[in-house]
Structure 1
Amino acid sequence: MKASKYLGIALSVVLAATAAACNQSEDGGSGSGYPNKDLDWTVAFGPGGGNDKLARKLVDILKKDKLYPNNIAIENREGGSGATGWGYLTKKKGDGYAISTTSGSFITSPLVAKTGFTYRDFTHVGLLASDALFFVVKKDTGISTWQQWVDKAKQKGSVTIAGIGEVNVDFIVADILAEKAGFKMAYVPFDDQGELITALTSDAVDGAVSNPSEVIGQLDSGDLVALMFTGKEALPKYRDVPTAQSLGYPGLPTMPRGLILPPDAPKEATDWWIETMKKVVETPDWKAYVEDSFLAEDLRWGPDFTKYLDETNSIFEIVLKARKKIPR
C-alpha cells in the first residue's frame, strides 16, 4: 500500500512539472499565455480627434502585422475631457486586456476636477510622440497673420477660442497666448473634433487651437487658415506658418501621445505591450503616420514614461494654479 501511495504521489509531481514545462514553452515563459483574450480599447474622446486617430492607427498596425492574436474592440467613451473613458479604465484594475491612449487632459483633468483618479494610478506602457497645435481661424474672416488676430481680438474686446477638452493642453495654450498677447478670451471646450470644426466654420467661435492632423483637410481645402504652430520647428508642409517661438511665445506645452493599461495591470501584460510597441514604432506604417500627422516622435518606455508624466504634471500644475483653475 505504501509503495503504491508513494508511486501515485511521484506520478502526480511528474505530471504537474510536465504540464508547467509545456505551458512555459507555449507562452514564452510567462506562465499565463498572454495575450489569449480579446482586447478592450478605450478612446477617451469622440471620433475624428488626435486621440481617436492615434488609437485607430495603432490598432490597424497591430492587426495588419498580426502582432495581437485576438480581436480588438475599440470604443469611444467620450465625456468630461477624457474623465469618462479613463474612469472606465480604472474600473478594470488588474486587467491586462483593457487599454487606452493618453492626451494632455490625462494629466490636467485630475488636477482641476474630482475624477477619482490621477495619471499615477495607471500602468504606464510608453510615450510614443508629442503633438503640437495650430492656431486656426476661418478663412473668410480676412485674418491671415497672428498680429491681425491680436489686433482684431483687442478691438472686439473678447474673443471665443475652441479646443478639445475642458482644461486640456488646448486650454493652457490658448490661455497663455491670450495673456501674453494682451487680449481677453473665453475658452469653449469640445469632446468631439467634428463639433469643434462645425462651430468654427459656422462662426459660433472666433478661433481654435487644434492638432495638425485634425485640421489638415480644412487647411488644404482653404476653409481654414493657420496663424501659428506651437511646435519647436515649422512643419515642412506648412513652412509659411510661423512658430510660436518665432512670434515671441517660447516653451508652449505639447500633447503627450502615449499608451496606458489599467491600474495594477499584470507585469506580463505590461512587458508584452512594451516589447510589442517597440515593434510597432519600427513599422513603415507608423513612420508614415508620424510624418503625415506632423507628430514629433518621442519614445519613452515604462519608468521613463512615468518620469515624463511626473515632470509634465508639475509644469501643468504651476500653469493652472497661476490661472486659479485648481480648486483650493
Structure 2
Amino acid sequence: MTNSTQLRGPWLRATAVALAFSLPAAFGSQAIAQDYPSADETLDWTIAFGPGGGNDIMARTIIEILTKYELYPGDISPENRAGGSGAVGWGYLFAQSGNPYGISTTSGSFVTTPLQADTPWQPEDFTPVALLAADDLVLVVNGTSEIQNIDDFIAMAKSQPMNIGGTGTVNVDFIVPTLFAEKAGFEFDYVSFNSMADQTTALLSDALDAMVGNPGEILGLIESGELRPLVFSGQTTPDALEGVPTMGDIGFDIGVSMPRGLILAPNAPAEAQDWWIETMKKVVETPEWGEYIARNTLTPTIIYGEDFRTFLENTKNGFGVVLRSVGAIE
C-alpha cells in the first residue's frame, strides 16, 4: 500500500495521557484485601470500545459466565469507555496501577494503538491474565451493492479507489485490508469508527463502499441479506460463512489474526493474577464459552499469565514491522 491510503476520523492522542493523570497513580493497601477477591469490592470492568462490538461482546459473555456459575463473589460493573481506538479505556485502567479490582478485555487495538499514538502505556505494562481466542475479519458490502463477489470488488477498486470502514485507527481492522489491498493490487481510503454500530450504519446508508468486521458482530445482517460477505481473512471459512472464499483461497493470504484476552491493571498483586488465571481456566471449560467461540467464529487460543505478556510484546513487534512496511507509522 502506498501513501494514498488515508486515515480518517479524529485521533485522540492526548486522551489516555490526560486520563492517566486524572486518577490516583496507585491504590493504597486498603484497596487490596487479604483474601482476594472480596465480596465487598466492586469489580470495575473497562470495555475500551462501544456497545455491540467484538470487545464488548467478549467482556459481557465472560461476565455472564462468572455470574451464572457464581465464580466472582462481588458485584461487577462493566463500563464502555470508548475513544481513541481503545486509548481512552486502557488509559483509564493504566492509571489504576496496583488495583486488583480493575480489569479489561483486549483486542487487536490493544497492540496497535501504542504503535502509532503517544500513549503512556504499552501492552506488556498491564498484568496479563490470559489470551483466550483469536479472530479474523470478513469484508462486506451493502446487500444492495452492485458488487456481487470479491472479484467484482477488486476490479472496481483497481479502477477507482474505494473507502473501507473499520473499528479503530491503525489496528487490525486497518492492517487486514491494507495487506489484502497490497497483495491484490488496489488502493483504498480507510475510514475509522469508534464502534461497529456506527460503521454498519455508515455502510447501510451508502456512506461507505465496504467495511471489515468480525463475523460474529454482523452475522445477523449477513444472514438477513442486508450485508453481503465477499472474503474472509482467516485460514478456513467458518460454517456461518459457507461459500465465502478466504483471502488465501484467491491467492492473497495475509496471515494476521486479532488476539482477544484479559488483563488486570499494571502491578496488580500476584494473588489477583493467580486467582484470575485459575478462574478463567474454569470459564473456558463452560458450554457457554464454547457457544460464544462458535457463534463468533473465533479460534480458541489460550495462553496464561506471563506467557501472555511475552505474546503481547512479540505481537506488538510483529505488527510494528507490518505497519512500518506500509508507511502507516514511522
State TM-score, norm by structure 2: 0.88
Q: Supply the distance in 2 between the matched residues of 1:151 and 1:280 (Cα, whole angstroms).
A: 45
Query: Does the CA-based 8 Å contact 2:176-2:254 persist in structure 1?
Result: no
* 1:228-243 correspondence runs (5 A): 228-243=231-246
Q: Supply the distance in 1 between the matched residues of 2:232 and 2:252 (Cα, whole angstroms).
A: 11
Residue 211 of structure 1: aligned partner: 214
* 1:129-278 correspondence runs (5 A): 129-155=133-159, 157-278=160-281
Q: Supply the distance in 1 between the matched residues of 2:229 and 2:135 (Cα, whole angstroms).
A: 16
CA displacement 1:68-90 (0-9 Å, x = unmatched): 00000000000000000000000
- SS in structure 2 of the partner of residue 298 of structure 1: strand
1:34 aligns with 2:30: no
Query: Does the CA-based 8 Å contact 2:124-2:310 persist in structure 1?
Result: no
Q: Which has the larger radius of gyration?
A: 1
1:85 aligns with 2:89: yes
Query: Does the CA-based 8 Å contact 2:180-2:254 persist in structure 1?
Result: no
Residue 48 of structure 1: aligned partner: 52
Q: Supply the distance in 1 between the matched residues of 2:327 and 2:147 (Cα, whole angstroms).
A: 31
Q: Supply the distance in 1 between the matched residues of 2:66 and 2:133 (Cα, whole angstroms).
A: 18
Q: Supply the distance in 2 between the matched residues of 1:237 and 1:139 (Cα, whole angstroms).
A: 17
* 1:277-296 correspondence runs (5 A): 277-296=280-299
Question: 1:266 and 1:245, CA in 2 relative to 1: closer, same or farther beyond 3 A?
Answer: same
Comparing 67-76 with 251-260, which one deviates more in the overlay? Answer: 251-260
Residue 8 of structure 1: aligned partner: none
- SS in structure 1 of the partner of residue 243 of structure 2: coil
Q: Supply the distance in 1 between the matched residues of 2:306 and 2:254 (Cα, whole angstroms).
A: 24
AA at the equivalent of 2:144? D
Comparing 232-241 with 72-81, which one deviates more in the overlay? Answer: 232-241
TM-superposed deviation, 1:31? 8.0
CA displacement 1:129-175 (0-9 Å, x = unmatched): 001000101121122211110111122x2110000100110100111
Q: Supply the distance in 1 between the matched residues of 2:220 and 2:146 (Cα, whole angstroms).
A: 19
CA displacement 1:91-142 (0-9 Å, x = unmatched): 1100000000001110111010101111011011000000100010112112
Q: Supply the distance in 2 between the matched residues of 1:219 and 1:325 (Cα, whole angstroms).
A: 31
1:111 aligns with 2:141: no
- SS in structure 1 of the partner of residue 121 of structure 2: coil
- List structure 1 runs of 4+ shifted beyond 3 angstroms: none
AA at the equivalent of 1:248? G
TM-superposed deviation, 1:307? 2.3
CA displacement 1:240-269 (0-9 Å, x = unmatched): 011111111224311111000011010000
- Structure 2: gaps spanning 5 or more residues: 1-31
Q: Supply the distance in 1 between the matched residues of 2:243 and 2:311 (Cα, whole angstroms).
A: 31
Question: 1:267 and 1:182, CA in 2 relative to 1: closer, same or farther beyond 3 A?
Answer: same
- SS in structure 1 of the partner of residue 78 of structure 2: strand
Q: Supply the distance in 2 between the matched residues of 1:31 and 1:71 (Cα, whole angstroms).
A: 15
- SS in structure 2 of the partner of residue 141 of structure 1: coil
Q: Supply the distance in 1 between the matched residues of 2:180 and 2:202 (Cα, whole angstroms).
A: 21
Q: Supply the distance in 1 between the matched residues of 2:233 and 2:37 (Cα, whole angstroms).
A: 39
Query: Does the CA-based 8 Å contact 2:135-2:297 persist in structure 1?
Result: yes
Residue 4 of structure 1: aligned partner: none
Q: Supply the distance in 2 between the matched residues of 1:251 and 1:322 (Cα, whole angstroms).
A: 14
TM-superposed deviation, 1:310? 2.2
Q: Supply the distance in 2 between the matched residues of 1:196 and 1:265 (Cα, whole angstroms).
A: 35
Please report the RMSD computed on the Cα atoms of aligned residues, expressed in angstroms: 1.2
Q: Supply the distance in 2 between the matched residues of 1:295 and 1:88 (Cα, whole angstroms).
A: 27
CA displacement 1:33-82 (0-9 Å, x = unmatched): 10001100000000000000000000000001000000000000000000
Q: Supply the distance in 2 between the matched residues of 1:91 and 1:314 (Cα, whole angstroms).
A: 24
Q: Supply the distance in 1 between the matched residues of 2:252 and 2:59 (Cα, whole angstroms).
A: 31
Q: Supply the distance in 1 between the matched residues of 2:240 and 2:183 (Cα, whole angstroms).
A: 28
Q: Supply the distance in 2 between the matched residues of 1:63 and 1:298 (Cα, whole angstroms).
A: 23
